[in-house]
Amino acid sequence: MKKRQLGTSGLEVSTLGFGCMGLSFGYGPATEKGAAIKLLHAAVERGVTFFDTAEAYGPFDNEKLLGEAFAPYRDKVVIATKFGFKDGKPSLGTDSRPERIREVTEAALKRLRTDRIDLLYQHRVDGNIPMEDVAGTVKDLIAEGKVKYFGLSEASVDAIRKAHAVQPVAALQSEYSLWWREPEEEIIPVLEELGIGFVPFSPLGKGFLTGAINENTSFDKTDFRNTVPRFSEENRKANQGLVEKLGHIAADKGATAAQIALAWLLAQKPYIVPIPGTTKLHRLEENLGGADITLSAADLDTIKASLDEIEVFGHRYSADAQKMINR
């Protein structure tokens, strides 16, 4: 597995990371702990060094899982986690008070069984707390050696600039994929300007771009995709055209749709590091194969032309979740 630099921060990670949320939270019942640890170890053995978690995933369960899994590998991996919700629960709203950031950091260090957090993100911008105070608190934690790098998630251009002026932002994490390209308009240009890395989550469209989901798919009652407008039965049917186009392009390259979706992201900028998640070893290996695919300028032009012909239906978040985006 090759490596990439997240912007100009100096933080080097594997070309593809691993989004760990789905092992504990969000996509139905949690994966059995032993199986989850085995999968995380398999990722490390295959060259993945960058793992993403958050206090909100569970809450707390995902950090505990990583703490146990990576105890033998701590110096070989880069662990990113997040603060920003009341009691670690998104449903309760944001909470980035400086004292809360410190509380979360101390608790995360214990759950992760480590003496430092490699990359600490604000999970969502808190409209009640000045960004300067948030960035200043993380700056202090970095000075104390408890945190190494600072990141933001789903933040606006204004929030990114305010934070970066106080403490350099190493990475922005936001959704970006073949069916959510909004970051290209304003976010990517400012990341380029400021030397900030980009970590796209849901690079496979929460599974939709793999081709494994259609209008007949039934999600577990605890799967958050049940609340996502883009995943309504009607919109899943309407969005099949994109998956079909992607499948044709993949077939021509002797690859899978997922691999082309990841290769496309990697081809956009050298500081982009997607973090696909999975609970299955064969999917992990498939995803990692996407890093070995090189798309030519002609390939990228073909994909762009295909995308330009297709309208994507449905919002990517529920109305309540949308209120916490890009503040």
- pLDDT per residue as tens digits for the range 316-326: 988 888 888 87
Percent of the chain whose predicted confidence (pLDDT) is above 70: 100
Average pLDDT estimate for 269-287: 98
What's the pLDDT band for 278 if we cut at 50, 70, 90?
very high
**Catalytic-role residue among 57, 149, 176, 271:** 57
Q: Is the pLDDT score of 15 beyond 90?
A: yes
Q: What is the largest CA-CA distance in the chain?
A: 54
Average pLDDT estimate for 276-304: 96
pLDDT at position 320 is 84
Average pLDDT estimate for 55-69: 98
User: From residue 67, how far is each of 49, 110, 123, 314 by CA, in Å?
Assistant: 14, 8, 20, 37
Place of tokens 């300067």: 132
Task: Give dist(CA 83, CA 102) in Å, integer.
Answer: 9
Contact (Cβ atoms closer than 8 angstroms) between residue 30 and residue 23: yes
Residue 231: count other Cβ atoms within 10 Å of its Cβ. 22
pLDDT at position 200 is 98
Q: Give catalytic status of residue 121 as yes or no.
A: no
pLDDT at position 66 is 98
Task: Give dist(CA 222, CA 28) in Å, integer.
Answer: 5
- Domains annotated for the chain, with CATH where assigned, are 3-322 (3.20.20.100)
Place of tokens 């956009």: 268
Render pLDDT for 145-181 as a digit per residue (tens, 0 to 9).
999 999 999 999 999 999 999 999 999 999 999 999 9
Q: What does DSSP say about strands 78-83 and 117-122: parallel, antiparallel, or unpaired?
A: parallel
Average pLDDT estimate for 132-155: 98
Contact (Cβ atoms closer than 8 angstroms) between residue 303 and residue 265: no
pLDDT at position 104 is 98
Q: What are phi and psi of 162, to 5 degrees?
A: -65, -45
Render pLDDT for 78-114 as a digit per residue (tens, 0 to 9).
999 999 999 999 999 999 999 999 999 999 999 999 9
User: pLDDT averaged over the chain?
Assistant: 96
Average pLDDT estimate for 291-297: 95
Average pLDDT estimate for 69-86: 98
Place of tokens 């009652």: 221
Q: Is the pLDDT score of 6 beyond 90?
A: yes
pLDDT at position 324 is 87
What's the pLDDT band for 314 if we cut at 50, 70, 90?
very high
pLDDT at position 225 is 96
Residue 310 or 42, more confident: 42
Residue 179 or 20, more confident: 20
